[in-house]
Structure 1
Amino acid sequence: MSWTEVIIEIAREHAEGLSDALMEAGALSVSVEDADEGTADEKPLFGEPGMVPEQAAWDHSRVVALTDEGDDQAAIVAQAAAIAGLAQAPKFSTRAVADADWVRLTQSQFEPIHIGKNIWVVPSWHEAPDPDALILEVDPGLAFGTGSHPTTRLCMEWLEAHPKPGKTVLDYGCGSGILAMVAKKLDAGSVVGVDIDEQAIESAKLNAERNACEIDFYVPDDFVASAHGGVQFDTVVANILSSPLKLMAPMLSGRVAEGGSLILSGVLARQAEEVAAAYAPFIKLGVWAEHDGWVALHGQRGAASAPPARDGSNGGK
């Protein structure tokens, strides 16, 4: 089977409405791009993670709609223009999309990821490069966390460098459950994962089952109501974003047992001081390591001063 892309260049104020209208008129999928991409007029739209853009499209937008090859593309565009309330159907061009083995093509983009000294994250369609390593079988999906992002990598490296056999671990904002699984495979005792996204919880449960890891996963309300609700943990790791991390400072700090460790990531290097300041009344945090502009902060409950950075450095990698 083959498809035809319909390409329409249009002003920002009409891009979102036309996109929705194209889907209603029969398009299989629609994306919006910067029509000036690659030129001197290209403009960034999105800020740092967690920020909602003020505009939903670019001043000079390109709307790309995927249709079946046999569809009447002109009719689809005309119908969409009418639905969107445009005075007339916009000009458009088309581009053929050849058939392909999309599953194989997608899988080829994801190779095993080596993290730290001895961790491999391996998609299910690959053989583990080192069967004696700590192997996590995780397929890319909707839940965040395959180890490819610097913040996930930093947390995994901290857990590997500080194994806690038999100790309790809380992974708050667990996403795919990858950090909880690393802790469990490093012989932690009771491990709990929490996430606000129910889809992430389902993904994490499937990943844990696939990797033979006994972990309890909850959405926040169920976590509070569970047997773990009033429990403190020897290690608490939270890989989220700076704004929610600051808001959760009293709660996350209160989940750390006396002498236990708190590890935070999802924090840009320029945000480290303000995040540490939010936790200062509870736990003194310092930068443990930095990677690609992101940092991992670490502190110990009851410690008088911030812990040293990895390898005794200032946190740079």
Structure 2
Amino acid sequence: MPWIQLKINATQSTAEPIGDLLMDLGAQAVTFLDRHDTPVFEPKPGETRLWGDTDVQGLYPADTDMQPILTILRDAQMLSEHNYRLDQLEDKDWEREWMKNFKPMQFGERLWICPSWLPVPDPNAVNVHLDPGLAFGTGTHPTTALCLEWLEGLDLSDKTVVDFGCGSGILAIAALKLGAKRVVGIDIDPQALQSSHDNATRNGVAEQLELYLPADQPRDFKADVVVANILAGPLKELCDVICGYLKPQGQLALSGILNEQAEAVSNVYQEQIHLDPVTSCEDWCRISGIAKFS
């Protein structure tokens, strides 16, 4: 069973109320993570010790409609436009299992995603060396695989690309390795931007990859290709933002979408995008197409 993880950046005063509200709103689990690796000391009896800058994570079944939950959090002034992130997760302990299960994987004819600690199967292929750390994206999840296969099938020579929700940087780096000349990666999580930078450096493409938090992203940048692997709710909510990155006749791919959510997401994008047939992998799918505007 797949899951949705809601991560909210909080403060010492807001973290515990956010966690309580997430539980009230049906979270299967809530955890608190220190964003600065500050040691946790044993709390006094009856005391909950939280960090000054804390990520609160709530875990929900993947078929949960997250929009009402996000609305309640906004109304309670616990959520703003740029302080949260939604990710799709497999039904396993990601941080413990990914190294064991992460092996070299081929996408299309040319592209291989290879763990940085293992030798590449084909030195003549387009090889992306990856160490995702705690950021999302190795290629093992169906949504990432769908996006990698789509990118591998494009002619990216001399193209510009936006990776919206870049995570580990896997899609951005793959695009550069496949011939793109410039990629802009955007993510709400500073840890993801650091992971993307580290992986880009490992692959020798750091100078071509620009990384931004949403508040700092370039406002006038238009790309030939945009890929957004996030979740259905944010994809619908951010349709105009995502399509706004496209040049006329630019190519778009969206993933992080459950099969049963495809129609709803397609309905939001069909006014601006000539849509291709939906492509599915296990419980998830990819929506792609070409911008209608010229």
Query: By how many angstroms is 1:163 displaced?
Result: 2.1
C-alpha separation between the residues in 2 aligned to 1:218 and 1:48? 27
C-alpha separation between the residues in 1 aligned to 2:248 and 2:101? 44
Is 1:239 the counterpart of 2:229 in the alignment? yes
- Written as runs of structure 1 = structure 2, the 5 A alignment for 1:200-211 is 200-211=192-203
C-alpha separation between the residues in 2 aligned to 1:143 and 1:185? 20
Corresponding residue SS for 2:273: coil
C-alpha separation between the residues in 1 aligned to 2:185 and 2:98? 29
Query: By how many angstroms is 1:280 displaced?
Result: 2.1
The structure 2 residue matched to 1:223, chosen from 214, 217, 225, is 217
The structure 1 residue matched to 2:184, chosen from 171, 189, 192, is 192
On the 8 A contact 2:255/2:285 being kept in 1, the answer is yes
Query: By how many angstroms is 1:107 displaced?
Result: 4.6
Q: Which amino acid aligns with 1:197?
A: D
Q: Deviations over 1:268-298 (max 9, x none)?
A: 1111111011112222323342111211111
Is 1:124 the counterpart of 2:124 in the alignment? no
The structure 2 residue matched to 1:282, chosen from 253, 272, 283, is 272
Q: Over alpha carbons, which structure has the higher Rg?
A: 1
Query: By how many angstroms is 1:253 displaced?
Result: 1.1
Query: By how many angstroms is 1:301 displaced?
Result: 1.0
Cα RMSD (Å) of the superposition?
A: 3.2
How does the TM-score come out when normalised to structure 1?
Answer: 0.62
Q: Kindly tell me: are residues 109 and 148 of structure 1, through their superposed partners in 2, closer, same or farther at Cα, counting changes over 3 Å? A: closer
Q: Kindly tell me: are residues 149 and 23 of structure 1, through their superposed partners in 2, closer, same or farther at Cα, counting changes over 3 Å? A: farther
Q: Which amino acid aligns with 2:222?
A: Q
C-alpha separation between the residues in 2 aligned to 1:50 and 1:186? 36
Q: Deviations over 1:233-292 (max 9, x none)?
A: 110110000000000111111211111111101111111111011112222323342111
On the 8 A contact 2:185/2:211 being kept in 1, the answer is yes
Q: Which has the higher contact order (CA 8 A, sep 6+)?
A: 2
> Residue in 1 aligned with 2:166?
174
On the 8 A contact 1:276/1:284 being kept in 2, the answer is no
Is 1:48 the counterpart of 2:62 in the alignment? yes
Gaps of 5+ in 1: 1-11, 26-44, 53-104, 305-317
Structure having the higher strand fraction is: 2
Q: Percent identity?
A: 42
